Amino acid sequence: MFNKKKILITGGTGSFGNAFLEYLLKFNCTVNILSRDELKQHEMRVKFNSKKINFFLGDIRDKSAMEKAIIDVDYIFHAAALKQVPSCEFFPMEAVKTNVNGVNNLIDLAIKHKVKKIIALSTDKAVYPINAMGLSKSLMEKIIISRSRINKKNISMGIVRYGNVLFSRGSVLPLFINQAKQKKSLTLTDPNMTRFFITMHDAISLVIHAFKNVKNGETFILKAKSATMLDVAKIIKKIFKNNKKINILGPRHGEKTHETLATKYEIASSKETKKFF
């Protein structure tokens, strides 16, 4: 599938990039990692110590920096994004520059350099969005779908959408575990808040399923169960024998009480399998 291919992961120094790179290195392929974070690039360089990996320092907002990473690439897995809800609420135009303009830049260059396929990572926050992060990711999806209609022959583009990845960077679980280990009160924004949780293994399985099966402009959604954040906090307290009272902080800027994986209109027109929409 990936043997003798060149692959680009944008935002490749994040949690998904690290896990997916580990998967790709099983193949006889070359992997380009594009990101803005030189420290994390250095850490990955030391961690993987592989001649199969090329690192490119740059931002998807900057076409000239990104173009160097796309030359001769066969497939792109697009994970670069601004993902923190409060940060995007305070700086919405920064979310637009990265999550909206960035993907448009990526598609322009992918077409120019005859890339065969793009799989872009999206989020449940793009469904019925109420915050700047979700709105910008929803626009990212719309751009991919729109441009896939226009450019039908040269490149195949698809989207994967999922909820919270357990233990990923910025996930609440590492925070809860750290607080529980230190015998501190767990801090919770809203006990009634629900979130969809999946493992990194499930996220990668979804991406590979989409890569193998995508028809131009399709969105792939992994079926997942939701849990209340109060239940998650209680489980962590039980595991680490933390008897402190949970501290309720109140919702952060732009946070939804309940997320949704797909709109009712999408479900009505989707194909359902055992694991996916």
Q: Is 138 helix (H, G, I), strand (E, B) or coil?
A: helix
Tokens 């919270």 correspond to 164
Nearest residue to 259 (alpha-carbon basis) of 187, 206, 197: 197
Exposed (0-12), middle (13-18) or buried (19+): which is 221, by Cβ within 10 Å?
buried
Q: 114 catalytic, yes or no?
A: no
The type of residue at 169 is R
| 18 Cβ neighbours under 8 A, 6+ residues apart | 44, 47
Exposed (0-12), middle (13-18) or buried (19+): which is 70, by Cβ within 10 Å?
buried
CA 272 to chain centre: 22
Q: How far apart, in Å, do the first and last CA atoms of the chain sit?
A: 23
CA distance readout (Å), 235 to 42, 202, 228: 36, 21, 11
Number of H helices and number of E strands within the chain? 11, 12
Q: Which of 63, 125, 237, 256 is catalytic?
A: 125
User: For the chain, how long is the longest CA-to-CA vector?
Assistant: 60
Rounded to whole angstroms, the Cα distance separating 58 from 35 reads 6
- Point out the residues that are catalytic: 125
